[in-house]
Structure 1
């Protein structure tokens, strides 16, 4: 076996260790095995043939087909680089400008021959107009500006075209939004409608399975707008040309006036944000004394002391200017216009908000048998619904008397309520409750807030019975579902909730009710404000409507109807 002499040396790679190299091949250096020369000899040995040179050597040449493979250099050079490649501007309510960088990675200059794809309201600036000599290995910067003018939905590719046929493209998408700057007439109120979607499967016995189908309720606003003189002319033309477009509508109930003026080109608006419909990534609107003076801004962050903006304001706004949260919305129908004079019209508008309107969900912390208790007392100044429904099945041949069957064998209570709220905190609580109910999905205990039972004798703290005026409870209910849970409200504000598990008629004037637990306190008839029935209920409808009679610091009304669900399992 041949023995080769060698020596190990360090790799000469500038001190960089490369794990992808075969290290063993690089740790040997060449040693001349023929120096000194005992191995080389020109003397012909015995038996060897004569060494005859055959120079020059001729070969038959042939063509080889090869393909050049890409190398690392091709990943960067011999092309035009553009950054960014896609620009999603979202809702465009004012002119927005973005820097666009192009790098000529060819090793020779190129000529920019044209910039194509610029749509209406899309402007490219920052460099001389084509044709433009683009030096080799150099980066140039353009400014791309998108204005609110143009098609409502923008989806275009702006291309930089070069003399060698190469192109660099930037895709631009945006929704152009026009500000609705007309103010409502508060004499007719502003109505806000929240519409959830719930799928309910109900058996003949009244047991139901309820499923939420929509992440957040749809939101609508409708109200009367008045426009006079020049504003009437603006409204007429705006509806004629752009009534089918997306509008930025102010949330009129959440209006506030700036306490201090703000200068132009600032990125912060000091204002109140608690319980108002501001959100990060959303919109806000500043409005002056007329519909021609307004500015819509984008919100970067909502802070307790004000709004941090994505882009600086364009106008200066004095103290007293109106500030609203704003939402993207679309007219559900063409507004009906009523001509009052030749200079004054009334427009009844109805907007559908086209973005998700999330709001914190809330259900009462007070629990009874594991379920929340909605015990807020309603406004009794108007008549409220108190009724019962049965699941009746009718078999009628048309000849004999129809057969009517109560499949659930019980009546389900239907209870109407109306609430008047004053101030932002109360309104926010009601809205959170509506969101927390998730349409018709969730259930809560709802008292009737009526004087349903009258106690006639004092009950001790350890008593598990109470004596009431005879009203036929033993005869008609006697602990049946739907009329077995009571809410005892004392004048002191203390509230007791108990379940009736049985009843006995003592005489023609008195009945005794057995409770599932001791009262815990002494109960005298004079201490009781009222004893009301409680039922486990859900909303009767997925649609809830809030009537804003004034702005959010004033009064709003909310009317709804609850429907009873079976509580046999609770």
Structure 2
């Protein structure tokens, strides 16, 4: 007999016997139509109970933000800030506004248009600004207006939106008057050093000014229409920041430059051009000039940030330029009714960096400034003592030398020819950092006379009797010598002892041998050396001609104690 397997169907509540009918029951529970209600097996009707509520309560919350709020329902402006730096000509920058509202908005006005600020590129307000659209404006800043610009240009919309563009700049006017080279141009480099000196003449020196201050001064002549321009420029804008040409660094263009040029071919080595700085082109009079901004200083010329605005023929003057301000009101001296002379003095108001340099030759850990000074004029050579005087006014005063030694003071003057020599002197001044750094300085005088040949390994030398053993005997300040031979060979040694051989000869003991044989006739001079610093923080370079010509620099060195060396 065959066996058949099957399933016994059990009755369900309400007459539902098919498993899939549970889905129908769920459909009715969540909202079935009357027609569906009639489809129930057995004719059982279901009743609806809406709304269903259980344990109702209030819940406090807030709406969370999303990317929608970051981008839409506002007006975006790009960029939001313009830092223009030095404005020497009209500078135009594009500004973009995006209406991120879903509907159109009306631009009612643009506020903050000070003197010298122009906004163009779109019709004047009121202007219908379509939704989800970007428009651009051209914002132009000219040199006219307040010398220091810090303002906000605001676009006002009918719904209260007010995106703003902050503009900062320094407006610079070109000083185009040519100097009179009869007396030259003075360049002053000023440091600030705190020198704390003890009674024993030991000092601690601190640099208080990171960058040297730089000044230029010289006479200016103006005639005819240029005199009228000078008079009005000083009357109205003498307190403004000017773009002054570095007059000694003048050069003439070798080739013509067309208008809208981005490159100026010229010489740049040893001249005061710098990346991000200024340069000035000048014609035959003060009315023909153009100041340009430098993007990169290349070996063969200048790459400009903005193209030139006018053509410049070959032979036009080209200068490096610096932002500067008049330190005092120039006094105009009337020569005729059409000719005046004005002595001007400018302070460079931007950081005026220059490569620092100190001599590579070292002696006892300090550089040696061995450059021979110009001796066409008399040079000073003196000594100072830290004397203290106690004087009651009745008895003889009591004078005491606190340091018990004389500190040497040595004057030097250098006359340089050409750009490289001037650049080297300026780099040395920057390297000395005012009175902070110290270098070994020889007197460049015939201080010691050699009598006998000194072998390569000898550690003594016989000299003409000069009273060294009696008065100095290896004391600091008179124990280091520089031996210079006629062939240019130099040896520097320390004297560690001395003795009198007789009334004509003294013998000096040296710290080490010279390494070469030295005969008396080979010696050009033997000079004392002292560890010295600048006596003053202020150094003056007198440019007698332009940078390819002659300049002079005079300074005074003052001795520092070197007992510990």
Q: Indicate the residue corresponding to 2:297 in structure 1.
A: 302
- Cα drift, residue 397 of structure 1: 2.1
- Radius of gyration: which is bigger? 2
Instruction: Tell me which of 209, 224, 230 is aligned to 1:229.
Output: 224
Q: Say whether residues 1:175 and 2:170 are aligned partners.
A: yes
Instruction: Measure, in 1, the Cα distance between the counterparts of 2:264 and 2:25.
Output: 97
Instruction: Measure, in 1, the Cα distance between the counterparts of 2:302 and 2:366.
Output: 38
Question: Structure 1 residues 38 and 169 mapped into 2: Cα distance closer, same or farther (>3 Å)?
Answer: closer
Instruction: Measure, in 1, the Cα distance between the counterparts of 2:463 and 2:59.
Output: 111
Question: Structure 1 residues 205 and 380 mapped into 2: Cα distance closer, same or farther (>3 Å)?
Answer: same
Instruction: Measure, in 2, the Cα distance between the counterparts of 1:133 and 1:518.
Output: 92
Secondary structure of 1:511's match? strand
Instruction: Tell me which of 391, 399, 407 is aligned to 1:396.
Output: 391
Q: Say whether residues 1:504 and 2:499 are aligned partners.
A: yes
Instruction: Measure, in 2, the Cα distance between the counterparts of 1:347 and 1:195.
Output: 24
Instruction: Tell me which of 279, 285, 288 is aligned to 1:290.
Output: 285
Secondary structure of 1:182's match? coil
Instruction: Tell me which of 326, 333, 343 is aligned to 2:328.
Output: 333
Instruction: Tell me which of 328, 346, 352 is aligned to 1:357.
Output: 352
The within-5 A match list for 1:137-536 is 137-536=132-531
Question: Structure 1 residues 293 and 39 mapped into 2: Cα distance closer, same or farther (>3 Å)?
Answer: closer
Q: Say whether residues 1:98 and 2:93 are aligned partners.
A: yes
Q: Say whether residues 1:111 and 2:100 are aligned partners.
A: no
> Which piece of structure 1 moves more, 506-515 or 415-424?
506-515
Question: Structure 1 residues 40 and 376 mapped into 2: Cα distance closer, same or farther (>3 Å)?
Answer: closer
Instruction: Measure, in 1, the Cα distance between the counterparts of 2:49 and 2:423.
Output: 102
> Which piece of structure 1 moves more, 515-524 or 253-262?
515-524
- Cα drift, residue 65 of structure 1: 7.7
- Cα drift, residue 460 of structure 1: 1.6
Structure 1 residues 7-28: Cα deviation after superposition (integer angstroms, max 9, x where no partner): xxxxxxxxxxxxxxxxxxxxxx
- Cα drift, residue 64 of structure 1: 8.4
TM-score, structure 1 normalization: 0.90
In structure 2, list runs of 5 or more residues that go unmatched. 1-17, 27-43
Secondary structure of 1:238's match? helix
Question: Structure 1 residues 458 and 136 mapped into 2: Cα distance closer, same or farther (>3 Å)?
Answer: same
Question: Structure 1 residues 57 and 429 mapped into 2: Cα distance closer, same or farther (>3 Å)?
Answer: closer
Instruction: Measure, in 2, the Cα distance between the counterparts of 1:523 and 1:270.
Output: 53
- Cα drift, residue 96 of structure 1: 0.1
Secondary structure of 2:211's match? coil
Instruction: Measure, in 2, the Cα distance between the counterparts of 1:441 and 1:57.
Output: 90
Instruction: Measure, in 2, the Cα distance between the counterparts of 1:41 and 1:108.
Output: 48
Structure 1 residues 278-328: Cα deviation after superposition (integer angstroms, max 9, x where no partner): 000100000000000000000000000100000000010000000000000
Structure 1 residues 7-59: Cα deviation after superposition (integer angstroms, max 9, x where no partner): xxxxxxxxxxxxxxxxxxxxxxxxxxx954589999xxxxxxx9995746698
Instruction: Measure, in 2, the Cα distance between the counterparts of 1:449 and 1:71.
Output: 80
Question: Structure 1 residues 55 and 374 mapped into 2: Cα distance closer, same or farther (>3 Å)?
Answer: closer
Question: Structure 1 residues 389 and 52 mapped into 2: Cα distance closer, same or farther (>3 Å)?
Answer: same
Structure 1 residues 204-234: Cα deviation after superposition (integer angstroms, max 9, x where no partner): 1011111111111100000000000000000
CA RMSD, Structure 1 to Structure 2 (Å): 2.0
Instruction: Measure, in 1, the Cα distance between the counterparts of 2:60 and 2:212.
Output: 68
Question: Structure 1 residues 52 and 469 mapped into 2: Cα distance closer, same or farther (>3 Å)?
Answer: same
The within-5 A match list for 1:57-68 is 67-68=62-63
Instruction: Measure, in 2, the Cα distance between the counterparts of 1:65 and 1:298.
Output: 60
- Cα drift, residue 262 of structure 1: 0.4
TM-score, structure 2 normalization: 0.91
Instruction: Measure, in 2, the Cα distance between the counterparts of 1:318 and 1:337.
Output: 33
Instruction: Measure, in 2, the Cα distance between the counterparts of 1:223 and 1:530.
Output: 40
Instruction: Measure, in 2, the Cα distance between the counterparts of 1:533 and 1:62.
Output: 100
Q: Indicate the residue corresponding to 2:8 in structure 1.
A: none
Q: Say whether residues 1:122 and 2:117 are aligned partners.
A: yes
Instruction: Measure, in 1, the Cα distance between the counterparts of 2:113 and 2:209.
Output: 39
Secondary structure of 1:440's match? coil
